[in-house]
């Protein structure tokens, strides 16, 4: 790839969808409508665990405006799921969490559908509840899924009873290393259940034409929805079209199917288009949230302050369906190990079923949980040893040429640079003088999801460009970033490009808007398409100019050779009339990262792919009496490889930090005995503009090996370090160490009283 021209990439250009978003013209999934559409509402289980004895929908069917009622009897298939097929569209015999869908009503209006819900008579026989991971892990535990053994599952998983995956990361001999260590430390941590908090509720519209299904939904993964819907309704995948209107935020919460199958079931039965949109109460109680984790970590160091061994255990509370929890128990081990060189590791994870709502793949799944434990412990150990926490980190961090926890070769490592830049910006070496004021620092790494992205690129006879990409724009601006790569390589302006995206009928396959991959993977596919466009366009241009094709290159809206040029539009027009058009496909497939399989068991995410590195630092004040925290300055130094569009990268950092401050300081969905205690926005508080501090972003550019121009994954990392960074600073400021999230003023004040 050429790197000398930087006309478009690296520039702060406005995103391609900005204008249609500020005018309200763009249509989101929640806005989508079809003629004659009915509206659905979901009847959910009032019990955390119960057997369904009988469902009688006769009265509901007679209610005003009602078209149909659907239950498990209307779904042709059994169960589905990404790693374990343990999910049903509607509970068949057993409800496994309060909120488990039992039936749905389709009616003229949403209000009529809701009014008919209580008219469906369901007889339940209540069963004992598995409310916590401790209960689920007990030897005599009641099973959340009695038939777990019969479920189809990914072959890497290690399953048993309520444990959907038991993972292990083993390097060297940790026991022997602890025995020979100078000092050994043990700590425990707990993290909280956080909702992604997107402002657009999950919504889908479904429509059937005989055995052909079309679904419009704000999903991050239309191709996954396509195959899932095909399996649920037992029809060929080619009969399912999934089209993605604009997405009103997702953060991983719209990866897995959520409402699409219910809309499709209603539309099928009513023979009318049907829309399902969740209420906020449904969102909080049943959204695909971040798994809470219970973590124990043991760290051994030698007299030179080098880490000689780390051992630990992570219990991941998946809720009633395993979902992404089996992956969190995998990548979580890499996060617990952290970006450090540690010769002996013995870390295990358990993805555990409980009778609570299923969880999901919220932005950097496992990142905040694992990093909170790892980086809080680094701080606690450094302080116990009386050394500077920054120095202790610098002594042990991974550098170029080191091996990762599972044996992967580490290259383009920048954690030292990130730490030093964050420390400098926060004034780490200057003494803190004010009482109640303190600083904290934490570092980490994150993986980028790879797989494949594909595009079709067409240059129209007017020289403008249309791109078909199977990847949705979830809001981050990553599609704009990918189009900046295309514009740069092809020599056009960003405004010349129109994107048709995320429609399984008209766009090529894409692995989806997830895992910090979009800008890099779609960008790489675009660069590949430009090479293929060149192969078609250069011979034509060469003929017009009377030169050889291999002397041609793309200039600004032209093909150039020496001091001659021919407009791109002219070549496209010529190819349209003579050879069917200037159109090419582009593909990118991320190569796998080699690792040592002997070190892992059950780990479905065994490596940190195309790693990014980051360090956060904060300066804050804790009110001596109330425990209230005021953030004075928050700094992020993040290695983005190459900043394709600094504005939107800063946007990811600013937004991610505030979202993670939410997790750290305010947000927790509280389940007690199988019920949510705070299912509304008054009791579940997300940061407002008044709560949010300003964030200083330092973009480190250590070119990586995969993304365009060396770009690394950007979107997920900013939520990883805030919990540990803030916990470390709160301790520095107040002397109180909080090891269970969220860090509320009450916990700080209480800790002070108890002399923590």
Partner 1 sequence: MKTEIVTLRINGHQEDVLVRQGQSLLSVLRDTLGMTGTKINCREAECGVCSVEMDGRVVNSCLVDARMAQGSDIVTIEGVQEAEGLDILQQCFVRHGAVQCGYCIPGMIMAARGLLRENPRPTREEIRQGLSGVLCRCTGYQKIVDAVEDAAGTLVQTREGAI
586 binds partner 1 (CB under 8 A): no
246 binds partner 1 (CB under 8 A): yes
DSSP state of 93: S
Q: Which CB, 24 or 546, lies closer to partner 1?
A: 24
CA-nearest of 292, 327, 296, 299 to 314 is 296
Interacting residue with partner 1 among 24, 236, 580, 755 (CB under 8 A): 24
Please, which residue, 27 or 505, has the CB nearer to partner 1? 27
Strand partners, 296: 188, 313
DSSP annotation of 134 reads H
Binders of partner 1 in range 46-65 (CB under 8 A): 64
Q: What distance in Å separates the CA atoms of residue 575 and residue 569, rounded to the nearest whole number?
A: 10
Residue 291 CB, shortest distance to partner 1, in Å, is: 19
Per the DSSP assignment, residues forming a β-bridge with 428 are none
Q: Which residue has the tokens 């309520």?
A: 162
CB atoms within 10 A of CB 594: 11
Choose which of 303, 682, 754, 755 interacts with partner 1 (CB under 8 A): 682
Stretch that binds partner 1, among 233-241, 351-359, 512-520, 686-694 (CB under 8 A): 686-694
Q: How many C-beta neighbours within 10 Å does residue 691 have? A: 14
Please tell me the distance from the alpha carbon of residue 362 to that of residue 359, in angstroms, as a whole number: 9
Rounded to whole angstroms, how far apart are CA atoms 166 and 599? Answer: 14
Nearer to partner 1, 10 or 461 (CB): 10
**10 in contact with partner 1 (CB under 8 A):** no
Q: Which residues in 432-471 contact partner 1 (CB under 8 A)?
A: none
Task: Identify the residue among 73, 155, 433, 689 touching partner 1 (CB under 8 A).
Answer: 689
| Separation of alpha carbons 41 and 173, rounded Å | 55
Site for partner 1, residues 602 to 661, rule: CB under 8 A? 647-648, 650-651, 654-659
Contacting partner 1 (CB under 8 A), which of 2, 5, 6, 18? 18
Q: Would you list the DSSP string of 658-692?
A: HHHHIIIII--PPEETTEES--STTTSPPP-TTTP
ω into 212 cis (within 30 of 0): no
* Alpha carbon distance 242, 467 (integer Å): 18
Give the helix ranges, DSSP H, for 32-120.
Answer: 58-61, 110-116
The number of residues in the chain equals: 756
CB of residue 405 to partner 1, shortest distance in Å: 31
Smallest separation (angstroms) from partner 1 to the CB of 689? 4
- State which of residues 2, 3, 6, 19 lies at the interface with partner 1 (CB under 8 A): 19
- Residue 219, classified by CB atoms within 10 Å of its CB into exposed (0-12), middle (13-18) or buried (19+), is buried
The number of residues that bind partner 1 (CB under 8 A) is 60
Compute the least distance from the CB of residue 679 to partner 1, in Å: 11
Among residues 426 and 696, whose Cβ is nearest to partner 1?
696
Site string for partner 1, 476-505 (x = CB under 8 A): xx----------------------------
Cβ 502 vs Cβ 455: under 8 Å? no
Q: Shortest Cβ distance from residue 487 to partner 1 (Å)? A: 17
Residue nearer to partner 1 on the CB measure, 308 or 660: 660
The nearer residue to partner 1, 238 or 630, going by C-beta atoms, is: 630
Query: Which residue, 532 or 647, is less far from partner 1 as judged by CB?
Result: 647
- Give the residue, chosen from 1, 10, 11, 26, that forms a contact with partner 1 under the rule CB under 8 A: 26
Contact region with partner 1 (CB under 8 A), list: 192-200, 291-299, 374-382, 612-620: 192-200
User: Contact 239/225 with Cβ under 8 angstroms?
Assistant: no
In the DSSP assignment, the letter for residue 343 is S
3-state class (DSSP) for residue 143: coil
The minimum distance between CB 367 and partner 1, in angstroms, equals 17
The two beta strands, 553-555 and 66-71, are unpaired
Q: According to CB under 8 A, which one of 138, 681, 705, 753 is a site residue for partner 1?
A: 681
Question: In terms of C-beta density within 10 A (0-12 exposed, 13-18 middle, 19 or more buried), how is residue 690 classed?
Answer: exposed
In the complex, the residues that contact partner 1 under the rule CB under 8 A are 12, 14-15, 17-19, 21-28, 30-31, 33, 64, 109, 111, 196-201, 246-251, 277, 279-280, 474-477, 647-648, 650-651, 654-659, 680-682, 686, 688-692, 694-695
């Amino acid at each position: 790839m050429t790197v000398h021209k930087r006309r478009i990439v690296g520039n702060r250009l406005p995103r391609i969808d900005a204008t249609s978003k500020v005018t309200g013209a763009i249509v989101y999934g929640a806005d989508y409508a079809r003629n004659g559409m009915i509206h659905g509402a979901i009847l959910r289980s009032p019990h955390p665990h119960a057997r369904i004895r009988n469902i009688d929908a006769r009265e509901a069917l007679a209610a005003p405006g009602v078209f149909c009622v659907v239950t498990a009897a209307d779904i042709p298939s059994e169960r589905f799921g990404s790693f374990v097929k343990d999910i049903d569209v509607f509970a068949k015999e057993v409800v496994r969490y309060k909120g488990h869908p039992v039936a749905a009503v389709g009616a003229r209006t949403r209000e009529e559908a809701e009014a008919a819900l209580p008219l469906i008579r369901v007889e339940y026989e209540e069963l004992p509840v598995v409310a916590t991971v401790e209960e689920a892990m007990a030897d005599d535990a009641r099973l959340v899924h009695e038939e777990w053994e019969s479920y189809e599952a990914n072959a890497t998983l290690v399953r048993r009873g309520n444990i959907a995956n038991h993972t292990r990361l083993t390097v060297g001999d940790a026991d022997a290393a602890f025995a020979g260590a100078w000092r050994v430390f043990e700590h425990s941590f707990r993290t909280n259940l956080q909702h992604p908090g997107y402002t657009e509720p999950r919504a889908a519209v479904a429509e059937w034409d005989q055995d052909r299904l079309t679904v419009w939904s704000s999903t991050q993964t239309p191709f996954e929805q396509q195959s899932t819907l095909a399996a649920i309704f037992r029809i060929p995948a080619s009969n399912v079209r999934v089209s993605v209107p604009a997405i009103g935020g997702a953060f991983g919460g719209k990866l897995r199917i959520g409402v699409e199958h219910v809309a499709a079931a209603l539309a099928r039965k009513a023979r009318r288009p049907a829309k399902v949109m969740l209420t906020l109460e449904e969102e909080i109680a049943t959204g695909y949230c971040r798994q809470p984790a219970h973590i124990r970590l043991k760290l051994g160091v030698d007299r030179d302050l080098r880490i000689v061994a780390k051992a630990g255990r992570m219990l991941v509370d998946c809720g009633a369906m395993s979902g992404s929890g089996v992956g969190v128990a995998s990548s979580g081990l890499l996060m617990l190990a952290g970006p450090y060189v540690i010769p002996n590791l013995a870390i295990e994870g358990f993805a555990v079923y409980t009778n609570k709502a299923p969880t999901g793949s919220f932005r950097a799944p496992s990142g905040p949980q694992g990093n909170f434990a790892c980086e809080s412990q680094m701080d606690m150990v450094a302080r116990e040893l009386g050394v500077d926490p920054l120095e202790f980190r610098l002594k042990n961090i991974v550098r170029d040429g080191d091996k990762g926890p599972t044996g992967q070769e580490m290259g383009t490592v920048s954690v030292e640079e990130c730490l030093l830049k964050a420390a400098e910006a926060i004034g780490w070496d200057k003494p803190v003088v004010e009482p109640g004021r303190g600083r904290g620092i934490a570092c980490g790494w994150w993986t980028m999801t790879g797989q494949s992205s594909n595009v079709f690129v067409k240059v129209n006879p007017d020289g403008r460009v249309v791109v078909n990409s199977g990847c949705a724009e979830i809001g981050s601006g990553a599609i704009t970033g990918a189009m900046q790569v295309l514009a740069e390589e092809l020599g056009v302006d960003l405004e010349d490009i129109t994107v048709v995206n995320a429609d399984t009928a008209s766009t090529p396959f894409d692995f989806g808007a997830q895992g910090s991959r979009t800008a890099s993977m779609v960008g790489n596919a675009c660069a590949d398409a430009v090479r293929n466009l060149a192969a078609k366009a250069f011979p034509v241009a060469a003929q017009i100019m009377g030169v050889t094709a291999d002397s041609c290159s793309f200039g600004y809206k032209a093909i150039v050779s020496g001091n001659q040029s021919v407009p791109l539009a002219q070549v496209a027009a010529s190819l349209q009339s003579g050879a069917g058009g200037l159109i090419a496909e582009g593909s990118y497939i991320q190569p796998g990262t080699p690792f040592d399989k002997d070190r892992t068991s059950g780990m479905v995410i065994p490596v940190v792919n195309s790693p990014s590195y980051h360090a956060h630092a904060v300066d804050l004040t804790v009110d001596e009496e109330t425990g209230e925290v005021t953030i004075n300055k928050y700094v992020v130094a993040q290695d983005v490889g190459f900043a394709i569009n600094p504005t939107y990268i800063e946007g990811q950092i600013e937004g991610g930090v505030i979202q993670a401050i939410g997790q750290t300081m305010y947000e927790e969905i509280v389940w007690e005995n199988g019920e949510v205690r705070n299912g509304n926005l008054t009791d579940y508080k997300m940061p407002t503009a008044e709560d949010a501090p300003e964030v200083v972003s330092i973009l480190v550019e250590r070119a990586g090996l995969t993304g365009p121009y060396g770009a690394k994954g950007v979107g997920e990392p900013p939520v990883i370090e805030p919990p540990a960074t803030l916990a470390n600073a709160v301790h520095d400021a107040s002397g109180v160490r909080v090891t269970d999230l969220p860090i509320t003023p009450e916990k700080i004040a209480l800790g002070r009283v108890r002399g923590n």
